[in-house]
Amino acid sequence: MVGGNLTQKEAAAYSPNVLAFYGDSVYEAMVRNRVVLEHQTNAGRLHELAVERVRASYQSDAVGVIEPLLTEREADIVRRGRNAGGVSVPKSAKPSEYRRATALEALFGYLSLTGQDKRLEELFDAICKALPCDDKL
């Protein structure tokens, strides 16, 4: 994963919306990587599988999966992401789901910017094991 070498303090100084902006791309890249490696199918089907895992309701459920695994600092980043202001909720998502999805993205942005790729993989693996989506499509 392409990440930064910021200290935890430097990364935590970014607004939760900036962390979520970056984390959105980190999370989506991880999802796309996973679906390509796990599924021998066409690009259209891969897209469907990826969309299932990046929608707000799935990401909201993912927060519930990883919350018990978080360190105090990680939990703080999630709290900040969930409470971030200035976020416009799309019509396709409930506000509570969208806020939790933003929290997940903020955490993934923070972990990537601080170069914690191993931790990103641990949390992402926990999500994928707890929330399989293949049976829904």
Q: Where are the alpha helices (DSSP H) in the chain?
A: 8-12, 16-38, 43-54, 56-66, 72-82, 95-113, 117-130
Q: How far is CA 135 from CA 42, 49, 100, 132, in A?
A: 17, 10, 23, 7
A 10 A CB-CB count for 19 gives 28
Alpha-carbon gap, residue 63 to 79, rounded angstroms: 11
- Whether 24 sits among the annotated catalytic residues: the reply is yes
Catalytic residue from among 24, 61, 76, 134? 24
What whole-number distance in Å separates Cα of residue 52 and Cα of residue 32? 11
- What is the number of other CB atoms lying within 10 angstroms of the CB of residue 54? 16
Active site residues: 24
